[in-house]
């Protein structure tokens, strides 16, 4: 089997200490996806093609790739910045005119929702940060094989409605749509399976210093940042999704 060609659309740059230790968000996802492959008993290989869709606004030719992953971002998915509008239109075209499977994480999840007509906006419940429990729907439980997931969160925006033809994978007290799914087409998560204690802690410190998180929010989130999470499980399911789509 030739390597799976994955285009990672990088929608932001990590905070400085994360860049220093882990590289770009594309590299962070490459690490996560490698862990998922290690759980498999086949000889799956993959190659990553990274696209800066913010500054360079470069996008892959679909004939050159097998799947797309949209990263998270500090930016707002429902804003009308030129690069965000271009990203939404690109994903809309991919999902409506091709068979290329798309995975979206956090901001990427919201971009998919917007591209398919969902309502997106600021969550009434406010910030959801650090490791939190996601209660899965019946469809989500079937997909992931467990009733709930523990995953890193870092968002104040949300997808508030489910696009026609897609399935809601789960919810949390602060977020009604924690994931979207359509076999062979879309898999998205509001959470960050690619985050770990180091990445979360660095972001918490930066946003606390920026006064985005007050002392109480910051301190409480730090107590959960090292909790066990299901990032590797998500990685295995991302691969199942991609490979099922191209089979």
Summarize pLDDT for 2-49 with one digit per residue, the tens.
899 999 999 999 999 999 999 999 999 999 999 999 998 888 999 999
pTM beyond 0.85, yes or no:
yes
Does 155 qualify as catalytic in the annotation? no
Structure confidence at residue 98 (pLDDT): 98
Give the chain's end-to-end CA distance (angstroms, integer). Answer: 11
Predicted confidence band of residue 177 (pLDDT cuts 50, 70, 90)? very high
Share of the chain above pLDDT 70, in %: 100
Q: Evaluate if residue 120 carries a pLDDT over 80.
A: yes
Q: Write the CATH number for 37.
A: 3.40.50.880
Rounded to the nearest integer, the mean pLDDT of the chain is: 98
**Which listed residue (10, 30, 194, 202) is catalytic?**
194
Q: In angstroms, rounded to a whole number, what is the distance separating the alpha carbons of residues 31 and 138?
A: 30
Q: In angstroms, rounded to a whole number, what is the distance separating the alpha carbons of residues 101 and 95?
A: 8
Q: Evaluate if residue 183 carries a pLDDT over 80.
A: yes
If you ran DSSP here, which 8-state letter would residue 207 be given? H
**Which listed residue (109, 155, 192, 229) is catalytic?**
192
Q: Evaluate if residue 152 carries a pLDDT over 80.
A: yes
CA angle 198, 200, 206 (to 5 degrees): 105
| Counted domains in the chain | 1
Q: Please report whether residue 218 resides in a domain.
A: no
Q: Which domain holds residue 66?
A: 4-122+157-194+229-246
Does 106 qualify as catalytic in the annotation? yes
Q: In angstroms, rounded to a whole number, what is the distance separating the alpha carbons of residues 65 and 161?
A: 30
Does 192 qualify as catalytic in the annotation? yes
Q: In angstroms, rounded to a whole number, what is the distance separating the alpha carbons of residues 63 and 81?
A: 28
Q: Please report whether residue 104 resides in a domain.
A: yes
Structure confidence at residue 1 (pLDDT): 76
Structure confidence at residue 233 (pLDDT): 98
Structure confidence at residue 182 (pLDDT): 99
Q: Evaluate if residue 124 carries a pLDDT over 80.
A: yes
Under 8 Å between Cβ of 224 and 133: no
Q: Evaluate if residue 107 carries a pLDDT over 80.
A: yes
**Which listed residue (106, 128, 132, 168) is catalytic?**
106
Q: Please report whether residue 204 resides in a domain.
A: no
Under 8 Å between Cβ of 7 and 67: yes
């Amino acid at each position: 089997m030739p390597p799976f060609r994955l285009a990672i659309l990088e929608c932001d740059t990590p905070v400085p200490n994360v860049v220093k230790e882990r590289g770009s968000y594309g590299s962070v996802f490459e690490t996560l996806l490698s862990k998922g492959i290690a759980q498999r008993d086949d000889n799956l290989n993959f190659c990553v093609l990274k696209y800066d869709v913010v500054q360079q606004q470069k996008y892959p030719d679909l004939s050159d790739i097998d799947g797309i992953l949209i990263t998270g971002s500090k930016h707002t998915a429902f804003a009308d910045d030129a690069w965000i509008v271009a990203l939404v239109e690109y994903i809309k075209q991919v999902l409506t005119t091709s068979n290329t499977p798309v995975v979206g994480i956090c901001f990427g999840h919201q971009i998919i929702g917007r591209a398919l007509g969902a309502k997106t906006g600021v969550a009434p419940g406010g910030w959801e940060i650090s490791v939190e429990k996601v209660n899965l729907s019946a469809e989500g439980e079937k997909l992931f094989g467990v009733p709930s997931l523990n995953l890193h969160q870092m968002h104040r925006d949300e997808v508030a409605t489910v696009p026609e033809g897609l399935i809601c994978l789960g919810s949390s007290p602060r977020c009604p749509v924690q994931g979207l799914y359509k076999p062979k087409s879309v898999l998205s998560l509001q959470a960050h399976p690619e985050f770990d204690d180091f990445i979360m802690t660095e972001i918490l410190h930066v946003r606390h210093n920026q006064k985005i998180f007050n002392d109480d929010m910051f301190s409480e989130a730090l107590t959960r940042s090292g909790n066990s999470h299901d990032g590797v499980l998500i990685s295995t399911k991302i691969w199942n999704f991609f490979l099922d789509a191209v089979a």
